Amino acid sequence: MLIIRQAQLDVLGEQRMREFEDRALAHLQRWMPRHSRLLGPAPMLRLVRRGLARARHHGLHAECTVLGYLDLMCLLGSGFDADPLLPWAAEILNEPRRADPVPRGDRLYDAAWQYIDRIVPDYRDAGGVPVTERLVRLLRQVRALPREPLAEAELADFADTLAALLAGYFPAKLAVVGRPAARAALQAACRRARGHGLHGRRGAALVALLAFVLGHGFDDDPLLPWVPAILQADADEATRVDRLFATGAETLRRWWDLEAAPAAP
């Protein structure tokens, strides 16, 4: 079993690191082809490097566990290990570390697929056909919210409103994570929006709902490079929020096109 440790990387140098990165990119091209086709090599390489660092931080040094960790980043968002809506991930990752990391990596992978199986009705119909236009409908509804500032005292009620809205679009995920956890995460995400200079109801709702759907840390995710680019742009709040709506919808459209296209041989 190949083990990746810092001392080995230091000794073996950049060549061995590039060899691992090439294997990881080939793995993702095979098992996560739409991510690779949508994003291209540079963002996927950033994902690989971040995934290696995060997996090693959690004591997952075996190459197979690192590759599995990369898969879960694609499926759950790059920040899944700190996502308050995925507490089972942190529980497994924080288990006492033993010499062999593979069993813990296997438990993490199995738990992730059990979770995905439970929320899949939000994303595919009974015949397995994607219903990904659901997020665009949600975005359109959120876009109609007022731009007026959201006060701290209003956050709890606003989070309740967002949770009720999500119940009509992502009922399976809301049922799995539970309303109390969802409300707490939505409220925290609204506060996080303020850190990006988004103080209005529309911007706060957009950040909160994208965090719920795309995963904790979506605003710093190599799989979503357009998000930090827009949030950090030198533009006023209204312009940046409008760009988030437009670019999000366009990204989803491109994803659906890849869903409909036949897989490359």
pLDDT tens string, the chain, 265 residues long: the values are: 566 666 655 655 678 888 999 999 999 999 999 999 999 999 999 999 999 999 999 999 899 999 999 999 999 999 999 999 999 999 999 988 877 889 999 999 999 999 999 999 988 777 766 676 778 888 888 888 999 999 999 999 999 999 999 999 999 999 999 999 999 999 999 999 999 999 999 999 999 999 999 999 999 999 999 999 999 999 999 999 999 999 988 888 888 777 655 444 4
CA geometry: angle 212, 169, 83, nearest 5 deg = 15
Give 156's contacts (C-beta < 8 A, 6+ positions apart): 183, 187
User: How many whole angstroms separate alpha carbon 189 and alpha carbon 205?
Assistant: 9
pLDDT value at residue 264: 46
Q: Which amino acid is at 140?
A: R
User: How many whole angstroms separate alpha carbon 81 and alpha carbon 131?
Assistant: 26
- Residue for token digits 């850190």? 195
Q: Which amino acid is at 175?
A: A
pLDDT value at residue 235: 96
CA distances from 180 to 85, 174, 187, 195 (A): 10, 10, 11, 23
pLDDT value at residue 200: 95
Helix (H, G, I), strand (E, B) or coil at 35: helix
> Could you tell me if 92 and 111 are in contact, meaning their C-beta atoms sit under 8 angstroms apart?
yes
- Residue for token digits 């990369």? 70
The C-alpha torsion from 75 through 81 and 84 to 88, rounded to 10°, is 90
Q: Go through 45-63 and write b for each residue having 16 or more CB atoms within 10 A of its CB, e for each that does not.
A: bbbbebbbebbbebbbbbb
Give the global pTM. 0.89
- With both helix axes pointing from N to C terminus, report the angle between 133-143 and 237-260 in degrees, rounded to the nearest 10: 160
pLDDT value at residue 265: 42
Helix (H, G, I), strand (E, B) or coil at 197: coil
pLDDT value at residue 2: 60
User: How many whole angstroms separate alpha carbon 154 and alpha carbon 187?
Assistant: 10
Q: Hey, CA dihedral for 224, 225, 226, 227, is it positive or negative?
A: positive
